[in-house]
Amino acid sequence: MEKYFKFSERATGLKTEVLSGAATFLTMAYIIFVNPGILSAAGVPFVGAVTATAVGAAVMSITMGAVANRPLALASGMGINAVLTFSVIGFQQANVPWQVGMSVIFIEGLLIFLLVVSGFREAVMNAIPLNLKRAIGVGIGLFITVIGLNEGGIIRPAPITLVALGDFSQKYVWVSLIGFFSTAFFMASKVKGDILWGIVAAAAAALLLGVTAVPQAAFSAPDFVTFLAPFQTVNGQLALAQALTPGLLFAVFAIMLTDFFDTMGTVVAVGEQAGFVNKDGSVRDIKKILLVDSAAAAVGGLFGSSSITTYIESAAGVAEGGRTGLSAIVTGLLFGLCAFFAPLIQMIGGGYRLPNSSHYGLLVNSGFTPPADVLPPGTGDYFVYPITAGALVIVGCLMMKTVREIDWDKFDEALPAFLTMIGIPLTYNISNGIGFGFISYVAIKLSRRKFSQIHPLLYAVSLAFLLSFILASK
């Protein structure tokens, strides 16, 4: 094990990697409950979606750890699942059957895999300017912080100011604060496993304050009804064949663009923190990482869990000292257990529903607001996840350190970096922020006739982003 995972070379050990994997899992566990809640709105069987989400995350996280030997965990991606539900499939299958929607994800994953095999995806990643790579990591750190503050109820959506201070009279907010300050105390005191212990402290506070409760049942049997969704027959025809229409093929392109760049941003951000990004901004073992991530998207469609992607919450495990693939394997094994013990995991990773809200509040919390006629009357509140919220804020803080390495004295480098950093949290989308950075970088360099500083691939990628923004607004 020492030789395979290179513990000594990366200054880590078995205990550290296990704690790291557990910390990553605890910050990602919410996806087991959020993802099925979103997919079920489009007719995907809820219990089947739970099994697909847990097993998909388990299989691909273990694969990433074993193949790439990096502390990167994977699960069904937030944002893409909402787009799949309401833009591709349609509420309660109003547009296409859910199996056809999963076929769209399956095709998108296969295409991205081919781009990795051809070397194109790696070439695009290497073409990103160093300052933009650093800005992506900072932007994702801000994004994680906003997610943590929102999930903890410390801030809340507001109609005119966009955000406002949360209701500090609520018990769940105090659970979030206890988790945050406990983690901060453990970290300042250099306690091993600080983030994990902070989550444990928050869970204890949630139990004492009655925000959560010990579940009545511990076991739930897995249901594999969503597996092989693209190859299921729907309305007398193979679901995969029904996805090969012009309208759905555009959906394949749109989702592929998001998948393509979300992973790049995540890998660079986590890699900077974990120490596997070189001084020139290139990522070691990037080919293996991208191969697994691309295959994961296709596996998500095959299992019926929406696109599976590398998770930025992996940074929580890296903050615990995780440096090898064993961390991802531990996370994957814990996800595998969730397929059988979901009620127990929900106590920590599950959401706390605010008064008068419905399960559609999950969509608001994910940054995606469905059409008004989809939301039941009187809704618009959202779920909070107070037990893991504090950990996310701390992780966001840790990811801010690379902001000092950006060349702020050169305006044509600083402006694209700035737009990237604010674009990610303000649009609640990693890919959108990267698009802002790419487009502005090319535009400002062209205006100053610095053609040699623009990699040829950046022209094509920036144009693709611009077209996607225009088409998405229609």
Query: Of the ranges 22-26, 273-277, 392-396, 470-474, which one carries the lowest mean pLDDT score?
Result: 470-474
Report whether pLDDT(370) > 60.
no
Coil, strand or helix at 163: strand
The maximal CA–CA distance of the chain, rounded, in angstroms, is 67
Residue 372, pLDDT > 50, answer: no
d(CA 130, CA 137): 11
**79 near 258, Cβ under 8 Å?**
yes
User: Which amino acid is residue 444, in one-letter code?
Assistant: I
Residue-by-residue DSSP string for 89-132: I-GGGSSS-HHHHHHHHHHHHHHHHHHHHHTHHHHHHHHS-HHH
pLDDT at 344: 67
Alpha helices in 29-91 (DSSP H): 31-39, 46-67, 80-83
Q: By the 8 A CB rule, do 135 and 433 touch?
A: no
Which has more pLDDT, 447 or 28? 447
How is the chain split into domains, by residue range?
2-472
Predicted pLDDT of residue 377: 33
105 has a pLDDT exceeding 70: yes
pLDDT value of position 379: 38
Which pLDDT tens digit goes with each residue over 392-443?
Answer: 888 888 888 889 889 999 999 999 999 999 998 898 777 788 889 999 999 9
- What percentage of the chain exceeds 90 in pLDDT? 40
pLDDT at residue 363, as a whole number: 33
Note the pTM of the prediction, 2 decimals.
0.71
